[in-house]
Amino acid sequence: MKFRSRLVVNLNHLAYNYTQIKKMAPESSVLFMVKADGYGHGMIPIVRYAVTELGVKEFGCATISEALKLREELNDLEFDIYVFSDIQLELLENADIYLKRRIIPVISNVSELEYILHTDGFNYFPICLKFNTGMNRLGLDPSDAPLIVNMLKQHGRISVHHLIQHYANASYPMGSNERNISQRNRFIDIKKFFRDSGITLERTSQSNSGTIEQQIGFDDTHIRPGLMMYGPTSLLDDYKELGHFQGKVVSRLETYILRTFDVLAQTPIGYGSTPCPHDGVVAILAIGYGDGFSTRYGGAHLYHKGFEGVIIGRVNMDMIQVLFPVEARDHIKAHEIFTIWGEQEGDLLRFSMETKTIPYEVFCSLLPRIPRVYRLN
């Protein structure tokens, strides 16, 4: 673990984002997605704060191991946990975990539902069904809805705890994108079929972050914010005007300057001897791919004290080289704290676009060597 590089997580910004979401959908309950260690921000502190300070009572994980960690480390708190993908329900020890730890698997195929319905101990277990309406990843086939209803009734089940779908193209317009319209209509049909068949739907949800930003799916009982809880928009740049959410990025990635030195144009720098394109000052920063700062980030622009620099040469395991203009010489000093993102409004999104990645990946790539530090201001 490093001492002067850190991801500073502003919990007040998390609260702000949650408040903005609730203003948009005041009647909807929030199922907060905290998979991948809270999108790289630290799942345990994030969930504890969300439960105790924001009143969130439902969370979504990707794996049973994530859910089990939440139960073990936050056993003093009351909340529900859903496992959305890697449920591993067929393993006997995992079935025991679901039953004893109050963890809800999101069922995506008929064999998983059969297991729940035919296994002792699951008689009164809440059933959460996810349908594939067009994502074509995980999910029950809509054509199997009659079969599923019959299976439920044969085992005395007259209700579904939660019925779910997931959009494949929520970064595009919800009102005009044909795939989004198709998925929405399919989910409406599935909900109607279950209800017309005498099955009560206790909870329903379809809205991930991009959908929530476009104010779609608020007629369901729940919304499922992920990325937007951490600040960035999920909408593509061409469609940002369709969004109704202006979040605050909850984190600030900091490192520090190891050394600075003047360079002339064509001076070779680092592995591969990349020539400097112009005269300037180079700042060596104490972060690299050993911290999860990818080699793909070479060439991206960073900012310090109002000056724009560019990552020059290869990203190293433990450091990077940033070239600033000559005018920055008297302003950029060794041992100063250097902010990778969080220095300027919108710099995370600019960084993501420039490096041809997405905020999800930038967040999740950071390794444990970068400590997470939590602040309330």
Per-residue pLDDT, 44: 98
Q: Which residues pair with 312 in a beta bridge?
A: 321
Residue 256 CB-half CA count within 13 A: 10
Judging by beta carbons within 10 Å of its beta carbon (0-12, 13-18, 19+), is residue 70 exposed, middle or buried? buried
Per-residue pLDDT, 223: 98
Q: To which residue do tokens 């009647």 refer?
A: 27
Do 231 and 261 meet the contact criterion of CB atoms below 8 Å apart? no
Evaluate the CA torsion angle 97, 103, 108, 111 in order and state its sign.
Answer: positive
Q: Which residues pair with 187 in a beta bridge?
A: none
pLDDT digits (tens, 9 = 90+) for 330-358: 999 999 999 999 877 889 999 999 999 99
> In angstroms, how far is CA 212 from the centroid of its own chain?
14
Token code pair at residue 307: 């000056």
β-strands 200-201, 159-160 pairing: parallel
Judging by beta carbons within 10 Å of its beta carbon (0-12, 13-18, 19+), is residue 93 exposed, middle or buried? exposed
Instruction: For 317-364, give the DSSP string.
Output: SS-EEEEE-GGGTTT--TT-EEEEESSSTTHHHHHHHHTT--HHHHHH
Evaluate the CA torsion angle 136, 138, 139, 140 in order and state its sign.
Answer: positive
Instruction: For 168-185, give the DSSP string.
Output: S-TTS-TTT-HHHHHHHH
Distance between terminal CA atoms of the chain? 24
* Contacts with 300 (C-beta within 8 Å, 6 or more apart), sequence order: 310, 311, 351, 354, 355
Residue 358 CB-half CA count within 13 A: 11
Domains of the chain: 11-233 (3.20.20.10), 252-375 (2.40.37.10)
How big is the chain, counted in residues?
377
Which parts of the chain sit beneath pLDDT 50? Answer: none
Alpha-helical (H) ranges within the chain are: 11-24, 35-39, 43-49, 64-73, 92-101, 110-118, 145-154, 178-196, 209-213, 347-354, 359-365
d(CA 352, CA 180): 25
